[in-house]
Structure 1
């Protein structure tokens, strides 16, 4: 099953350059392991919320809104797409990501579109 790992951080999280960071595994090790073995297939850091643009179509008009959009202090700082046989394995992969130690990881199972009748469209 495919999972999206949203990498979250907020102002209450430990400083990545502070003393708490000494026990955090290096991101390079996580990338080498999970991209190297094919578990992770895509991912990147994201620009800050101020750089986001919202796009909506209402009444046939395209409306573009500059970010940030959320009232939350927590922001999505990046993402990874992983493949895991079950939720427990996905949780293990997510728990080994450095940002699980400094921020949080939101793990979401993908819900494939059933466009060609080949993929499972059930929840």
Structure 2
């Protein structure tokens, strides 16, 4: 099953300690391991929230706003797409990411659109 890992910055997390951040493993090791063995297939860093653009269509008009659409204490700093046989394995992969130590990882199963009519999950 594919999972999207949203890599979150959590600067206002009251549980985050300097020891957590200092104990985060280097990203290079995580990338080498999981991109090297094919578990991770795509990912990158994202520009900061102030560089985001919101796009909505209302009443047939395209509305564009600067910055993030909603205020949040967390900011998405990047993403990775991983393949894992089950949720427990995906959690293990996510827990070894440096930002699980210094921020947070939101792990979401991919829900295929089934555009080809082959019976995707629903």
Is the pair's TM-score, using the shorter chain for normalization, greater than 0.5? yes
**Given the superposition, is the C-alpha separation of residues 3 and 119 from structure 1 closer, same or farther in structure 2, using an over 3 Å criterion?**
farther
The number of residues matched between the two structures is 120
The secondary structure found in structure 1 opposite 2:69 is coil
Moved segments of 4+, more than 4 Å: none
Tell me what 2:44 maps to.
Answer: 44
**Given the superposition, is the C-alpha separation of residues 96 and 119 from structure 1 closer, same or farther in structure 2, using an over 3 Å criterion?**
farther
Return the TM-score normalized by structure 2.
Answer: 0.90
Cα distance in structure 2, aligned partners of 1:121 and 1:49: 32
Preserved contact between residue 4 and residue 110 of structure 1 (Cα < 8 Å): yes
- Please report the RMSD computed on the Cα atoms of aligned residues, expressed in angstroms: 1.6
Preserved contact between residue 49 and residue 69 of structure 1 (Cα < 8 Å): no
Tell me what 1:106 maps to.
Answer: 106
- How far residue 119 of structure 1 moved from its aligned partner, in angstroms, is 4.7
Tell me what 1:29 maps to.
Answer: 29
- How far residue 121 of structure 1 moved from its aligned partner, in angstroms, is 3.3
The one-character-per-residue Cα deviations of 1:33-52 (angstroms, maximum 9, x if unpaired) are 00001000000011111100
Alignment of 1:85 with 2:85, yes or no, is: yes
**Gaps spanning 5+ residues in structure 1: where?**
none
